[in-house]
Structure 1
Amino acid sequence: MPLVAPTLAPYVKARPWLSKLVQPLANWYIGASGYRQMGLRADDLISEENETVLQALRRLPPKEAYDRIYRLRRATQISLQQKVLPKNEWTKPEEDVPYLAPLIEQLDAALKERAALDTLAPLKKH
């Protein structure tokens, strides 16, 4: 079961000229989404309704798990107050690095490998 919809990202990343063309639009979109103004990181937005994501969350180091919960609770409180954080507390682009997506990719690869191994049929020798 795929976690995300099909994407053009590999196609764009493979072509430097297209990447340069799309990058300003991507940066604008990230700013317009507003999650950084609430102190969140991109991986904080991944829905927890998938078993793979739940397994990845269980594999997070304790400090990273605590930081995630703190960011989510702070963002919820700020949202309820209809405010945003002061600009010096916004998530900076260099801080917005994936921490959950690599774990999810590892788990997906392991599940695909397990499914492939489970469907192997033994060869019969005559």
Structure 2
Amino acid sequence: MPGAGPLGVSLAPYIRSSATLTKLFAPVAKWYAGGSLYRQYGLLYDDLLIEERPIVQKALTRLTPREAYDRQFRIKRASQADVLHAPLPRDQWTKPEEDIRYLLPHVQAVETEEKERLKWNTLEVKRK
């Protein structure tokens, strides 16, 4: 489950439902995202999803050609910057407002389809 913690449960919906908790956790979340350095290499959060998972592989096939090209470009550019041991220039960093979840809707759709497929595959047809 994407976004879930180690126990498979995400507290994000609960935190977002409370104005006080949102006010408390938002600065911490921004600090953590900034400290993870993926934005300094021009990556988006969804570029970090583990591609070896079958669900993510299937979701990647659903990207438009432009989205797939942009993803590969960002990953190759970040890999080159990592080899050089230098983040990208500041003007090429990913801005927080540009860091959108472009792959998550596809991953969620694939997960829903897989759950439905499992449900239908467990049905037994009995002849009378």
What is the TM-score when the length of structure 2 is the normalising length?
0.89
- Find the counterpart in structure 2 of residue 45 from structure 1: 48
CA distance in 1, matches of 2:19, 2:54: 35
What is the TM-score when the length of structure 1 is the normalising length?
0.90
Unaligned runs of 5+ in 1: none
Identity of paired residues, percent?
45
CA distance in 2, matches of 1:124, 1:49: 41
- Find the counterpart in structure 2 of residue 9 from structure 1: 12
- Find the counterpart in structure 2 of residue 69 from structure 1: 72
Residue 114 of structure 1: which of 100, 113, 117 is its match? 117
Runs of 4+ residues over 4 Å off in structure 1: 121-125
CA RMSD of aligned residues (A): 1.8
Residue 28 of structure 2: which of 25, 30, 34 is its match? 25
- Find the counterpart in structure 2 of residue 84 from structure 1: 87
Q: Quote the offset at 1:123 in angstroms.
A: 8.6
CA distance in 2, matches of 1:20, 1:122: 53
Unaligned runs of 5+ in 2: none
Equivalent AA in structure 2 for residue 95 of structure 1: E
The one-character-per-residue Cα deviations of 1:34-63 (angstroms, maximum 9, x if unpaired) are: 000000000000010111100111110000
Equivalent AA in structure 1 for residue 36 of structure 2: S
Q: Quote the offset at 1:10 in angstroms.
A: 1.7
Q: Quote the offset at 1:124 in angstroms.
A: 9.1
Q: Quote the offset at 1:86 in angstroms.
A: 1.0
Distance 1:124 1:20, change over 3 A: farther
